[in-house]
Chains A and B, each alone.
Chain A
Amino acid sequence: MEKPFASRDWTLYSLVCLALVLIVLTMYQIDRQWLKLSEMQAALAEQAQAMRELRSLAGSGALAAQTPNAQPASIAPAFQRAYVASKMPDYAQGDWSVEAFGTNLKTITPLVSTDAYASNVQSYVQESLISRNPDTLAWEGLIAKSWTVSDDGLTISFDLRDDVTFSDGQPLTADDVVFSFNFIMTEAIQAPRERAYLQKIQSVKAEGKYRVVFTYKEPYFEALSLAGGMNIMPKHFYEPYLKEPQKFNESKGLLLGSGPYKLADPKSWTPDQGNVELVRNERYWGDVQPTYNRILWKIIQNDSARLTTYRNGDIDSYSARASEYKQLQNDAQIQAKSQSFEYMPPVVGYSYIGWNQVRAGKPTRFADKRVRQAMSYLTDTSRIIKDVFLGYAEPAVSPFGNASKQHDSALQPYQANLDKAKALLKDAGYEDRNKDGVLEDKAGQPFEFKLTYFQANEDTSRMVLLLKDLYAKAGVKLVPFPQEWPVMLENLDKKDFDAITLGWTSSIETDLFQAFHSSQAISKGDNFIGYQNQELDKLIDAARRTVDEGKRMPLWQQAERILYEDQPYTFLMRRKSLLFVDKRIHNLQMTKLGLNLGSLPLENYVPLAQQKYTQ
């Protein structure tokens, strides 16, 4: 039976139809709003571009003096290289720089962050008074115009440029420099690493608006780079956190500075966003405006995925593992789109296994020097380099590179020696008492330890398995203990591990203080293995006090000999950089600091025809 259509039904249907029509109309309206909005955004971007051009024109003096030949003279030395790049025929601004990080970042707040990834991000956002010239390795003024060092080396005064502003438009003055120092020296702020160095400075005073004076307590060999290399933190932005230091210590993305790039919102970045994205600082004060519109880091933990992403052109460079480098050299697709670089960077860091000597207040088995030496004899570095890194690495003897003046060339890397290792372990009281193949100490505890390492790195995983087999030959049981990066940093801070394999980045002259001085075996200090040696402390202190290079180097070499004898770390190797960079990135050059990819002020650019990202 059919139901007749009642008038009530008609009303219902027409109401439903009306609602539908209204919804469609609203959608259309909203769509129009979006279009309008993106139009406005584009217009704004254009204006910003115009402003930028105007500013760089003004900066290069073209407005005042119409003589183009006079331009280079007004460019500060730190910007000379970038300026030269900007005069190349195919130079163009725009496009993005897209790189990949292999781990999740815990935080990018300066001082609180501890890893090299975060400091890489910060280097685009915050600036220091001076910077190092990649060609001569000499210091050049960045924010500082000039500086003078007193005769006794204890006082350094910097004259600042008066045209520097932070990315939010506030001018950068001597007050900000003084504030940065005081901020770091505040006990409640979690910056033990920086504080360990800066405590050499007695005071930082502003003399006028653009002059700041650093006074040291005692002579220090890196006095200039310490004072000049300190990142300037804007006072107006960070000062409120002095009242709530906990909020600062736990923050994830409080980052503001005077650098060429900035976070779109200097307070809101969180690790769960995954990517880190910096946008151009439209107010950048520098003599040469940065080239890229954005700097983007994607988080891609898996090595293979990173390579695929590079292959698809979604990231600009790929640092190849040794095992794939040869294959990729023969890979037509990769070769067609890449420039490849194989080099040993002058400031390459080293990897090591750190033996934790103190755990929960008690000395561990690695507190015994003989045990550590035995472990070094068991660690067949040349085998690791041959099997895992296919020869693209060199053995490390100490924190000092083989080419460094700090290195004593008489020292040779520990050669694998099973008998020596066994003898040392026996001497230290380790024997296989219950005939199960594992050594036991006098209390009957088996020699078994967990080696903590970063899980996503395949080469490290392979190395750990190799080490496991190597150590087994002496009756030492290694238990692989892979961890996530943030969890690993947490354990490092808590000193909760048996042994750990990691790497240190290094600089032109490596200071041993941070990693090996007894005073740094504090909570959250970088001597996380709890290594203490009075004699080494004295040498480190003496070397740091010695400004004269001729007298300082022998002290470092003496310190190196102690490290060599003590083996607080088993030093593994320095790895070559095997880098593929997308062809659209131009002006890649090798400098004394390594490849200039991403070095600041930016020298790389993408010619207009090859630009990919238009925003």
Chain B
Amino acid sequence: MTKPVVSRQSFAARIWRRTLDGVGVKFGLAWVGVLVLFAVIAPFLANSMPLLMSKNGEITFPVLRYLSIEDAWILAAFFIALAVSRLPLQGGAKFAIFLAGTAVAALIANLTVQPPALVIYDDFRGPEYTQVDWKIMPPIPYAPGDYLRDLGSKGLEAPFASEGHTHWMGTEENGADVLSRMIHASRIALSIGFIATGIALAIGIVVGGLMGYFSGVVDMLGMRLVEIFEDIPTLFLLLTFVAFFGRSLYMMMVIIGVTGWSGYARYVRTEFLKLRKQDYVQAAIASGLPLPSILFRHMLPNGVAPLLVAVSFGVAGAILSEATLSFLGLGVVDAPSWGAMLDQAVKSSTFNWWMAVFPGGAIFMTVFAYNLIGEAFRDAIDPKLSRRNGGES
């Protein structure tokens, strides 16, 4: 006779522990963590202006003056997230506090941060910033949009090949530092992954939840809607939108999000179909709880697990979509992007290896990392796949 062992851990914590139980996923999480860190502190890591300088005894922070609203907001969001994760609260409450905090931060940033609308990078190498007592430059002293016009950068120079200035990863076609652009591009990659997937997830959960809960006619109509959206070729839709409405990162996020929810809807639907006749759901209905409460408070936490797997693959897909679009030369002009840099690997019939290795490697690593995380989740959640299932305490 085996004695049933009662686990003292919550389901979520157990899943999380089991997920972390592997080398690949640790590596994946570490890579994403590094990317997040780079994305957050990008302006302090790679920029043309000094971090700190003393001129005639007066100490200034030039980099802060040129901090954009987005920079400030991302920084604030990061620290709020750090602080909130330390609070002894429920997950939902933490999330709510985080959302409220970032919203307030966005508001404050919009009102207070007023960077100069035009940045003339040549000035930072002019007398105003060179005739100083002392200054501390960022590790990579080139901004992503700094084409080094005053230094006569020739563009497409291999690493360490430029004269007079060092570029760890060489320069791109207009003469900007590749490493600097790589670091700043991690923002686009991360944000498009998270936001596009977030939009898709929100739509997918609502539509899928309704389909699964009501089943019948609603389910039938919903499935047809899902099928319609599955048939939309996202890349071609993006190409069309770019041609007619110009290039915008936000538009890309919305389109990838709005067309990509059907998979999530399917997952949630199957889960909810399974759950809708369960006793606790019936109890909730009998208690006369409002529909959103039944759907999202009672059913969703029990049906969310398979979704996590899909999400991590979805993030990887969204990053690839943006990279593809940028590779085709249809990304946002002037904004650093891995895909756009990869496009410059073969220019004028010469193969610029550094433009292929670094951005290509970054795209590969990021997509790979998300896939590793997703797979680890799947292994942890799926009872059939988990070898340690039964005896697990």
Contacts and interface: CB of A to CB of B under 8 A. Distances in A.
B116 A487 contact: no
Tell me what chain B mostly uses at the interface: helix, strand, loop, or mixed.
Answer: loop
A304 B349 contact: yes
Contacts of A327: 348-350
B147 interface: yes
B382 to A, nearest CB: 38
A125 to B, nearest CB: 29
B348 A324 contact: yes
Contacts of A307: 348-349
Contact of B334 (A323, A324, A465): A465
Contacts of A466: 147, 149
A308 B349 contact: yes
B357 interface: no
Task: Point out which of A465, A482, A487 has the most chain B C-beta atoms below 10 A from its C-beta.
Answer: A465
A475 interface: yes
Interface string A424-450: 000000000000111000000010000
Contacts of A462: 173-174
B246 interface: yes
A487 B349 contact: no
Nearest to A308: B349
A323 B348 contact: yes
Interface in B327-345: 329-330, 333-334
Contacts of A465: 147, 174, 334
Contact of A475 (B118, B247, B347): B118
Given A465-B147, A472-B120, A304 B348 contact: yes
Contact of B117 (A328, A436, A469, A473): A436
A334 B347 CA distance: 15
B247 A482 contact: yes
A321 B173 contact: no
A460 to B, nearest CB: 12
A393 to B, nearest CB: 17
Contacts of B116: 436-437
Interface in B172-206: 173-174
Contacts of A308: 349
Contact of A472 (B118, B174, B346): B118
B244 interface: yes
Interface string B208-252: 000000000000000000000000000000000001101100000
A321 B348 contact: yes
Interface in B123-149: 147, 149
A484 interface: yes
B96 interface: no
B120 A473 contact: yes
B349 A331 contact: yes
Interface in B72-117: 114, 116-117
A117 interface: no
A539 to B, nearest CB: 39
Nearest to B115: A436
A484 B114 CA distance: 34
A456 B121 CA distance: 27
A328 B349 CA distance: 8
A307 B351 CA distance: 13
B173 A469 contact: no
A321 B156 CA distance: 15
A210 interface: no
Given A462-B173, A462-B174, A465-B334, A304 B347 contact: yes
A387 B244 CA distance: 31
Interface in A454-483: 455-456, 458, 461-462, 465-466, 468-469, 472-473, 475, 477, 480-483
A302 interface: yes
Interface string B297-339: 0000000000000000000000000000000011001100000
Given A465-B147, A482-B247, A438 B118 contact: yes
B119 interface: yes
B346 A304 contact: yes
A456 B349 contact: no
A477 B118 contact: yes
Interface in B58-82: none
A207 to B, nearest CB: 52
A552 interface: no
Contact of A324 (B119, B333, B349): B349
Contacts of B174: 462, 465
Nearest to B121: A469
A437 B173 CA distance: 27
A444 to B, nearest CB: 13
A484 B243 contact: yes
A437 B349 contact: no
Q: Which 4 A-B pairs have the closest CB atoms?
A: A324-B348, A437-B116, A437-B118, A438-B117
Interface of A: 302-304, 307-308, 311, 321, 323-324, 327-328, 331, 334, 387, 436-438, 446, 455-456, 458, 461-462, 465-466, 468-469, 472-473, 475, 477, 480-484, 487
Interface of B: 114, 116-122, 147, 149, 173-174, 243-244, 246-247, 329-330, 333-334, 346-350
11 contacts: A304-B349, A307-B348, A331-B349, A437-B119, A455-B329, A465-B147, A466-B147, A469-B120, A469-B122, A472-B119, A487-B244
